[in-house]
């Protein structure tokens, strides 16, 4: 399966700042997703990163807060803007290879703490 690298692996940021998380895949993939995972909770889908077009956001998530780029089939970024302590979480990138109902594969996540 695809190897997914996320950067940074962790960061501590100040309130009001922004952080961009990168997701790099070692092969071309059809779909890329961004999730948030709070401690002890399930994965919450933020958005689907669409290559060459705007991301598709889930209810409760907006582009101004979580702008996403996907310039090609192997790379995507998620920016967490104007951060507050409530944004402290683990952010995960996942990909689907091939087409149809294939399982997602995940990177190791970015652990973000906001002071």
Residues of this chain that bind other proteins (CB under 8 A): 1, 4, 6, 40-43, 92, 94, 101, 103-109, 111
Looking at the Cβ atoms of 1 and 17, the one nearer to other proteins is: 1
**How far apart are CB 101 and other proteins at their closest, in Å?**
5
**CA dist., res. 63 & res. 12, Å (int):** 22
**CA dist., res. 57 & res. 34, Å (int):** 10
**CA dist., res. 114 & res. 84, Å (int):** 6
Q: 34 with 92: CB under 8 angstroms?
A: yes
**How far apart are CB 95 and other proteins at their closest, in Å?**
11
Collapsing DSSP to helix, strand or coil, 84 comes out as: coil
**How far apart are CB 108 and other proteins at their closest, in Å?**
5
Looking at the Cβ atoms of 93 and 114, the one nearer to other proteins is: 93
Looking at the Cβ atoms of 1 and 27, the one nearer to other proteins is: 1
């Amino acid at each position: 399966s695809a190897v997914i690298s996320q950067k940074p692996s962790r960061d501590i940021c100040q309130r009001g700042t922004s952080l961009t998380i990168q997701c790099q895949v070692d092969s071309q993939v059809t779909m890329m997703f961004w999730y948030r995972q709070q401690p002890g909770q399930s994965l919450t889908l933020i958005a689907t990163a669409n290559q060459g077009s705007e991301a598709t956001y889930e209810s409760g998530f907006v582009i101004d807060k979580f702008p996403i780029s996907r310039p090609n089939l192997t790379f995507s970024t998620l920016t967490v803007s104007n951060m507050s302590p409530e944004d402290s979480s683990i952010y995960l990138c996942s990909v689907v290879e091939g087409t149809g109902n294939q399982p997602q594969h995940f990177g190791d996540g970015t652990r973000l703490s906001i002071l």
